[in-house]
């Protein structure tokens, strides 16, 4: 696993992948699993990157773009439409980074924040919460995409969200869809991706989320037991993290 280095304790190195932390795991998730950044670090291992974490919810300032080879934006219990000051600052940083061609990968909240930064529309899904393991479908453009070309036509992924990208950003390429959530993955430009599903969630983490949200889910009319029983590990979805890390590492190599 890459060593996670707090941003304020390090000099930014050229082969740095920045994890922009926009929240923390729910309290009932097994503490031995760590927090969001640890789940992502497991998936990013092996590419030879220095991985550093900037917790914007704790007031840490995002670094200068120089020396950051790529950035990943985590999920969050917050909502993009709340327009928290830390979220708005991150949105502006991401808009500039995307315009400069930095490799970016936004997950769940990060997916929505990227879409918002690039001119899309974010809001509550009209049919409510999506949670658990779902079957998703790759669209035709995914066959030529650096992260998703290796994915099968259908694959399982783990999810937990209430807000969605309602309208994709202008110029975005739609890569993955689902029966409940159509805008599962988009790419903007050459190497900026938004991904609604959670590649960092294994079956245990997803079950912990279902358990921690069981009362809310029941009040919303969801069948908690059935959704929990369907949860599984989703290795194909998880594979996009290692491919993103490799892409960032290749970009960081001296030319």
Residues marked active site are found at: 108, 198, 200
Residue 61 C-beta-side C-alpha neighbours within 13 Å: 3
Phi, psi of 228 (to 5 degrees): -65, -40
CB 79 within 8 A of CB 121: no
CB 152 within 8 A of CB 166: no
CB 48 within 8 A of CB 246: no
CB 131 within 8 A of CB 224: no
């Amino acid at each position: 696993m890459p060593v996670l280095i707090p941003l304020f304790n390090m000099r930014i190195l050229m082969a740095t992948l920045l994890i922009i932390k926009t929240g923390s795991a729910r309290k009932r998730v097994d503490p031995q699993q760590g927090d969001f950044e640890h789940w992502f670090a497991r998936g990013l291992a092996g590419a030879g990157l220095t991985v550093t974490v900037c917790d914007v919810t704790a007031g840490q300032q995002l670094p200068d773009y120089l020396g950051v080879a790529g950035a990943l934006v985590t999920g969050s219990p917050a909502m993009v439409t709340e327009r928290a000051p830390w979220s708005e600052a991150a949105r502006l940083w991401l808009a500039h980074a995307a315009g400069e061609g930095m490799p970016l990968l936004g997950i769940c909240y990060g997916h929505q924040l990227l879409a918002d930064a690039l001119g899309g529309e974010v809001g509550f899904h009209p049919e409510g919460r999506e949670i658990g393991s779902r079957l998703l479908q790759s669209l035709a453009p995914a066959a030529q995409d650096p992260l998703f070309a290796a994915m099968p036509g259908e694959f399982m992924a783990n999810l937990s969200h209430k807000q969605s990208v309602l309208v994709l950003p202008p110029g975005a390429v739609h890569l993955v869809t689902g029966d409940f959530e159509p805008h599962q993955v988009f790419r903007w430009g050459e190497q900026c991706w938004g991904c609604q599903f959670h590649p960092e969630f294994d079956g245990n983490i997803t079950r912990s989320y279902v358990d921690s949200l069981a009362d809310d889910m029941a009040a919303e009319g969801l069948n908690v037991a059935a959704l929990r029983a369907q949860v599984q590990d989703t290795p194909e979805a998880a594979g996009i993290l290692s491919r993103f890390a490799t892409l960032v590492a290749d970009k960081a190599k001296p030319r």
